[in-house]
Amino acid sequence: MYRQTEIISDLSKTPPSEGLEGADMIINIGPQHPATHGVLHLVITLNGETIKKVEPHLGYIHRSIEKMCESLSYRQFIYATSRMDYLSSHINNHGCALCVEKGLQIEIPARAQVIRVLMDELTRIASHTLWWGAMAMDVGALTPFFLAFREREMINDIMEETCGARLTMNYMVPGGVMFDLHPNFQKKVKEFITHFKNKIDEYDELVTDNVIFRNRTENVGVISKEDAISYGMSGPSARASGVQCDIRKLYPYEIYNQLQFEEIIETGCDSFARYLVRMKEMRQSLSIVEQLIDNIPDGEFQAKTKAVLKLPKGEFYSRVETARGEFGVYIVSEGGTTPYRIKFRSPGFSNLSSLDHIARGSKIGDLVAIMGTLDFVIPDIDR
């Protein structure tokens, strides 16, 4: 069902209500507010407790990465993209590396492909665990936050050994990955798998079946399938509305078409459905890691590439599935060593465009549950 949201461009034109009782109130949330998880500024028009309009103001962490990339070489610009969606920096790097490889038509070694997928899925688990903790904290449960960080710390340690970084990895380069895996990698990942398998059941016990949590999220922030498509939503947020949009399934890259995993689709359309999708995705990612960890092929971890990369004249687009949705890289090349224009299609920006539509008519207390399940990372929105 398609619901038309009326666009209120100037609130001063709407007739003022009689007396104080029905009067509109304007409230600012952010840019410094714990529930926005970053510097997002929302101007909310309220009537009593009911939201009439949500107006996001962006740009508090806008660094103009797209403009910056125009003067960086095809090896350098990938490092800037780690700073966009810092919770899935591996996958951002991956998308950019894929786009350059598409332009240069490089075939990357099998070992590098497996390493990339392993890292992507570990990143997805790390990102979703952090989201789970932060989201539960938003709706009033403090303990999950500490539990989530315990598991995320294990993944960060694994990443640190191999990539040398804990947040901005810069590990994927055109042609493969930067270094080979650390000797401890397989052992540590296996430890993590056995540890996390028990913990995720604990997560479910603690939060998923909790009555208070269910009351806070069920039938809150409903968006229909048609609307989700029209608002360009992607990732878990769209899949909770029944949209089939997993890039790993629809347009498989690397070795995703040889792996056994399910695309999680829920039809609840509400905050709780979005929560369920992410919880189930963690199990799927864990199963992918399990399938691959004993089957890392030997060989080169990087294809031989020229020192200076030059993309042929033309346009290249590649997309990957980050923890938040579809991340696209659009490169316009003039044949030089630097891109003429780069556009990053970030999942958060499109998902944010639907916030006003979702939140209208709900209570202000529910806004936190809506924003929590949409999983915004502000540097990803601002770029």
Partner 1 sequence: MNGEELKIKLAELLPDITIEEGGEWLNVLIAPSSWLSFSNQLRNTQGLDLDYLFCLTCVDWKTHLTMVYHLTSTIHRHSIVIKSNLDRNKPEIETVSHTWRTAEFHEREVYELFGVNFLNHPDLRLLILPDGWEGKNPMRKDYEDPINIIKL
Point out which residues bind partner 1 (CB under 8 A). 5, 7, 9, 57-59, 62, 64, 66-67, 71-72, 227, 229-234, 243-245, 250, 314-317, 326, 328, 330, 332, 340-341, 343, 345, 349-350, 352-354, 357, 382
- Nearest in space to 131 (alpha carbons), one of 380, 324, 269, 266: 324
Do 1 and 226 meet the contact criterion of CB atoms below 8 Å apart? yes
Closer by beta carbon to partner 1, 293 or else 309: 309
- Nearest in space to 324 (alpha carbons), one of 365, 253, 274, 360: 274
Closer by beta carbon to partner 1, 287 or else 353: 353
Rounded Cα distance between 226 and 219, Å, is 17
> Least distance in Å: CB of 249 to partner 1?
11
Closer by beta carbon to partner 1, 136 or else 223: 223
> Least distance in Å: CB of 92 to partner 1?
16
Per DSSP bridges, beta strands 176-177 and 172-173 are: antiparallel
Burial pattern 339-349, b for ≥16 Cβ within 10 A else e, equals beebebbbbbb
Closer by beta carbon to partner 1, 36 or else 350: 350
Closer by beta carbon to partner 1, 309 or else 332: 332
> Least distance in Å: CB of 50 to partner 1?
21
Residue 295 burial class via C-beta count within 10 angstroms: exposed 0-12, middle 13-18, buried 19 and up: exposed
Closer by beta carbon to partner 1, 211 or else 308: 308
* Tokens, residue 102: 């598409």
Closer by beta carbon to partner 1, 175 or else 325: 325
> Least distance in Å: CB of 282 to partner 1?
25
> Least distance in Å: CB of 226 to partner 1?
8
Rounded Cα distance between 256 and 333, Å, is 28
- Kindly give the interhelix angle for 110-138 and 89-104, rounded to the nearest 10 degrees: 150
Residue 291 burial class via C-beta count within 10 angstroms: exposed 0-12, middle 13-18, buried 19 and up: middle
Residues with Cβ within 8 Å of residue 228, at least 6 apart in sequence: 237, 238, 241, 243, 269, 354
> Least distance in Å: CB of 267 to partner 1?
15
* Tokens, residue 234: 């992607």
Handedness of CA 358, 362, 368, 370 (dihedral sign): negative
What residue type is assigned to position 135 of the chain?
M
> Least distance in Å: CB of 255 to partner 1?
21
> Least distance in Å: CB of 230 to partner 1?
5
Closer by beta carbon to partner 1, 132 or else 231: 231
- Nearest in space to 256 (alpha carbons), one of 283, 297, 285: 285
